[in-house]
Structure 1
Amino acid sequence: MSEVSEQLLKGTTKEGQRPAALMLEDGTFFTGTACGATGEVYGEICFNTSLEGYLEVLTDPSYAGQIVTMTYPQIGNYGVNPEDAQAARPALSGLVARDVCACPSNWRSSVSLPDFLRQSNVVALEGVDTRALVRHVRDHGAMRAVLSTEDVNPESLLAKVRASAPLVGENHVQRVSVPEKRQVGAEQLPKSHSFAVAPAAKARYKVVAYDCGAKESILHNLVRCGCDLTVVPWNTPAEEVLAMQPDGVFLSNGPGDPEAVEGTYSQVEKLLGKVPVFGICLGHQMIAKASGAEIEKLKYGHRGGNHPVMNLRTGRVEITAQNHGFGLVWPSLGPLVPALSGGFRNHQPDLCFWARSRKAPVVDNPRFGRIQLTHVNLNDGTPEGIAFLDVPAFSVQYHPEASPGPTDAHYLFTAFTRLMDGREDYLDIDIADDRLAGWSFGSADGAAVAGAVEGRA
Structure 2
Amino acid sequence: MSKIAEKLRVATAKPAGAPALLVLEDGAVFAGTSCGAPGEAFGEVCFNTSLEGYLEIVTDPSYAGQIVALTYPQVGNYGVNADDAQAEKPALRALVVRDMCPTPSSWRSQESLGDYLGREGVVAIEGVDTRALVRHIRDAGAQRAVVSTTDADAASLLEKVRKSPTLVGENQVVGVSCGGSYSYGVADLPASHDFALAAPADPRFKVVVYHCGVKRSILDGLVRSGCAVTLVPWDTPADEVLTLSPDGVFFSNGPGDPDAVDATSRAAAALLGRVPLFGICLGHQMMAKAAGAKIDKLKFGHHGGNHPVQNLLTGRVEVTAQNHGFCPRFQSLGALVPELSGGATEHVDDLREWGRRSIAPVVANERFGRIRLTHVNLDDGTAEGFAFLDVPAFSVQYHPEAAPGPTDAHYLFGAFARLMEGRGDYLDIDIATDRLSGWKFGSTTEEEVA
Give me the TM-score of the superposition, normalised by structure 2: 0.97
Residue 441 of structure 1: how far off its partner (Å): 2.3
| Aligned-partner Cα distance in 2 for 1:318–1:100 | 31
- The runs of 5 or more residues in structure 1 that have no matched partner are 1-7, 453-457
Alpha carbons of 1:316 and 1:180: their partners in 2 closer, same or farther (altered >3 Å)? same
Residue 185 of structure 2 corresponds to: 185
Match of 2:389 in 1: 389
Inter-partner Cα distance in structure 2 for 1:94 and 1:367: 41
Partner of 2:3: none
Match of 1:321 in 2: 321
What is the CA–CA distance in structure 2 between the aligned matches of 1:9 and 1:172, rounded to whole Å?
A: 46
Q: Which amino acid aligns with 2:310?
A: M
TM-score, reference length from structure 1:
0.95
Task: Report the Cα offset of residue 32 of structure 1.
Answer: 0.4
| Alignment-derived partner of residue 174 in structure 2 | 174
Match of 1:194 in 2: 194
Give the secondary-structure state (helix, strand or coil) at the position aligned to 1:395.
Answer: strand
Matched-pair contact (CA < 8 Å) for 1:199–1:447 = no
| Structure 2 SS opposite 1:296 | strand
Q: Separation in 1 of the partners of 2:440 and 2:357?
A: 38
User: Which runs of 5 or more structure 2 residues have no equivalent in the other structure?
Assistant: 1-7
Q: 1:4 matched to which residue of 2?
A: none
Residue number in structure 2 paired with 1:405? 405
Corresponding residue of 2:122: 122
**CA separation of 1:314/1:167 partners in 2, compared to 1, >3 Å: closer, same or farther?**
same
- Written as runs of structure 1 = structure 2, the 5 A alignment for 1:140-179 is 140-179=140-179
Partner of 1:28: 28
Note the C-alpha offset of 1:17.
1.2
* Change over 3 Å in CA distance of 1:110–1:40 after alignment to 2: same
- Structure 2 counterpart of 1:53, which letter? G
Question: Which position in structure 2 is the counterpart of 1:3?
Answer: none
2:37 maps to 1:37: yes
AA aligned to 2:413 is F
Contact 2:333 2:365 survives alignment (8 Å): yes
Decide whether the 8 Å contact of 2:336 with 2:345 is kept in 1: yes
Find the counterpart in structure 1 of residue 81 from structure 2: 81
Distance 1:29 1:447 in 2: 57
SS in 2 for 1:412: helix
- 3-state secondary structure, aligned to 2:401: coil
What's 1:101 paired with? 101
Greater shift in the superposed pair: 10-19 or 429-438: 10-19
| Distance in 2 (alpha carbons) for counterparts of 1:26 and 1:339 | 48
RMSD of aligned Cα (Å): 1.3
In structure 2, the partner of 1:212 is 212
What is the DSSP-based 3-state SS (H/G/I as helix, E as strand, rest coil) of the residue aligned with 1:417? helix
Asked whether the 8 Å contact 2:50–2:304 carries over to 1, the reply is: yes
Distance in 2 between residues matched to 1:343 and 1:117, nearest whole Å:
55
Q: Which amino acid aligns with 1:294?
A: K
8 Å CA contact retained: 2:16, 2:33: no
Q: For residues 446 and 36 of structure 1, what CA distance do their matches in structure 2 show? A: 41
**Residue pair 1:44, 1:145 contacting (<8 A) in 2 also:** yes
Q: Secondary structure at the match of 2:171?
A: coil
Q: Percent identity?
A: 66
How many pairs were matched up? 443
For residues 113 and 444 of structure 1, the distance between their equivalents in structure 2, rounded to whole angstroms, comes to: 29
Paired residues of 2:351 and 2:376 also in contact (CA < 8 A):
yes
3-state SS of 1:364 partner: strand
Measured in 1, the distance between the counterparts of 2:165 and 2:23 equals 15
Partners in 2 of 1:9 and 1:286 — Cα distance? 55
**CA deviation string 1:232-270 (max 9, x = no partner):** 000001000001100000000000000000010011100
- 1:214-363 alignment to 2 at 5 Å? 214-363=214-363
AA in 2 matched with 1:201: A
Match of 2:4 in 1: none
Q: What amino acid is the match of 2:259?
A: E
Distance 1:243 1:279 in 2: 20
CA contact (8 A) 2:291 2:367 kept: yes
Cα distance 1:448–1:174, how it changes in 2: closer, same or farther (>3 A)?
Answer: farther
SS at match of 1:315: coil
Cα offsets for 1:161-218 (capped at 9, x unmatched): 0000000000010110010111000011000000000111000000000000000000
Structure 2 counterpart SS, 1:119: helix
SS of 1:78 mapped into structure 2: coil
